[in-house]
Amino acid sequence: MPSPKRNVPGKLYSIADSQRCVQIGNRPGTADYRSCYRRDYARLIHSPAFRRLQGKTQLFPGTETDFFRNRLTHSIEVAQIAKTIAMKLNSECKELLDAEPSQRIDYDLIEVAALAHDIGHPPFGHNGEKALNECMQGMGGFEGNAQSLRILARLEKRLEQGVDVDQSPHRNGKDARVGLNLTYRSLASILKYDQQIGLQAREGKRIEKGFYKSEAELVANIKAAVLKESGQTVNLGEFKTIECQIMDIADDIAYSTYDLEDTFKAEFLSPLRLLWRTSRDGEALKNVHEKVNFNLEKEGIGRIDEKDLLNHVQDLFAEIFEDGNEAVLRQSLGYTELLSQQIASQSKKFAPKTVVKNVLKTIFDSKRGIQMDVPVLSAYQLSDSIAGNGYLRTSFTASLVGNAIEGVEIRYNDRCPALSKVYLNQLTRTRVEILKHLTYELTIMSPRLKVVENRGADIIKDIFDVLSKSGGERLLPEDYRDLHRYLDGAEDKKRIICDFIACMTDRYALEFYRRLHEAGESIFKPF
């Protein structure tokens, strides 16, 4: 097919995007009132894999309190942010404004991408991912994004009514399952990395991002469908649809903001303690600084030094008190003589944000150490208020999310609109990266959470080891046992065991482990 002329704008969506692995029509007696992407949305939210997200930890175990987010609530928040970004771009981008309604960013498709983005995450968070990756050494490894694609396109069970298709795993010795049979454009919306993962996955190595060998043919079909209208070719690693980019940005915004809110609620950190540990913990500051600059350079943004990093953190926490919120600041700090002096030193117009920023900067002077000639007690009161007061905490996170969304920009690709570039401006990207990595270093890497995660990794490895031994497949549920028997290769058999464990919730993995090693569990309780 010849490429279209450069002066002819391409379409954001084409007929090829709506194709599925197995083509279907409307069921008899039903009206055609749903778009293909709305159908995909329905298939996703009614799937067992989506429901299981409620049992997978986001940051803190859900057994501690019902306040903390899990993978399901996180995905819902990402979907809301992503849809808002799409609405912003549709209303601000001239090319999208001038387009027909059907050629503007599709909100159902955006929600599919956001709600499905974490569906491949295993139990016990990042350590669970590392554990399964080590278990699959020499077998293609394990990676959450690759598993998300595999779940949607292979593992989930759905029979297409009226369609003569063999969805068994053993047609001509190949796995012929099509999962939820989503459209190619929906599957493209979660394809963050378009390179195949190598077979080797060594312990201690950074987990390789991409897709598994088993989905290589599918990914080729996805890319062909999305690029068919434009006739464009892209280099390896450059295929990422506009919906996928929006989802990825929304995930970063949610991760950098709401995980921090959970950290405050759990009393792991407060703004003042976060600033203190950032400025005094040399290793944490170094790690955050390196990771932030690594990601900024990937985005084509210049490096920042450690002083700039600390200034950004101080600015972020001061911005909760926008000019005019005098009552909020006074209630938080109290009427202290030193605070009055700080206020009096400002201009006639009361500027709470400026007061707070000056207090923080003076307290955390990296050269002079803590200063006692400023309202330290008041600063602690303010810090505890942000962390412990639900109104202030919500105001803080809402401000962060709103400002981040305002920082989203687009570079429209006339020739291939599906690959238009969506990105955060320099200031917003810098702040999102700082908050992301601060939360990781100061919370996820903390001893209390590492103990839980390390135990989870041991549980996963033990289950994998037991199921991989001769006769271990007999312990699998019937559907997985049948798959294990039908597929011949050692790699395929290990992948089935990996699939079974990856789909577990945290609680189910712990329960399965106990049934393997402890007495007392009912033998009648189904898998």
Burial 107-118 (b: 16+ CB within 10 A, else e): bbbbbbbbbbbb
Q: Which residue has the higher pLDDT, 51 or 310?
A: 51
- What pLDDT does 244 receive? 98
* Cα–Cα distance for residue pair 435/304, rounded to 1 Å: 14
Residue 474, CA distances (Å) to 149, 470, 483, 486, 497 in order: 27, 9, 12, 14, 11
Residue 442 is classified by DSSP as I
The pLDDT of 205-212, averaged and rounded, is 88
Q: Which residue has the higher pLDDT, 91 or 67?
A: 91
**DSSP reduced 3-state for 179:** coil
The pLDDT of 273-295, averaged and rounded, is 81
Strand partners, 70: 57
**DSSP reduced 3-state for 174:** strand
Q: Which two tokens stand for residue 119?
A: 């569906």
CA 520-521-523 angle, to 5 degrees, is 120
pLDDT tens readout for residues 33-86 = 889 999 999 999 999 999 999 999 887 776 667 778 889 999 999 999 999 999
Residue 59 in contact with residue 260, Cβ under 8 Å? no
Asked whether the CA dihedral 9, 13, 14, 17 is positive or negative, the reply is positive
CA 141-184-217 angle, to 5 degrees, is 45
The predicted model scores a pTM of 0.87
Q: Where are the alpha helices (DSSP H) in 345-446?
A: 352-363, 376-388, 390-406, 426-439
Considering the chain, what is the average pLDDT of its residues?
Answer: 83
pLDDT tens readout for residues 15-24 = 999 999 888 7
Question: What is the 3-state secondary structure of 462-502?
Answer: HHHHHHHCCCHHHHCCHHHHHHHHHCCCHHHHHHHHHHHHH
Residue 389 CB neighbours (<10 A): 16
Residue 133 is classified by DSSP as H
Closest CA relative to residue 153, chosen from 174, 134, 177 = 177
- What pLDDT does 140 receive? 92
**DSSP reduced 3-state for 200:** coil
Residue 264 in contact with residue 68, Cβ under 8 Å? no
Give 304's contacts (C-beta < 8 A, 6+ positions apart). 289, 292, 293, 296, 312, 430
Residue 105 in contact with residue 114, Cβ under 8 Å? no
- Domain map of the chain by residue range? 8-24+34-251+467-518, 269-445
Strand partners, 409: 423
**DSSP reduced 3-state for 213:** helix
Closest CA relative to residue 63, chosen from 522, 512, 519, 507 = 507
Worst-scoring range by mean pLDDT, 78-92, 230-244, 361-375, 468-482? 361-375
Q: Which helix (H) or strand (E) holds 411?
A: strand 408-411
User: Could you tell me the fold of the domain covering 8-24+34-251+467-518?
Assistant: Hypothetical protein af1432 (1.10.3210)
Residue 244 in contact with residue 192, Cβ under 8 Å? yes
- What pLDDT does 354 receive? 60
Residue 125 is classified by DSSP as H
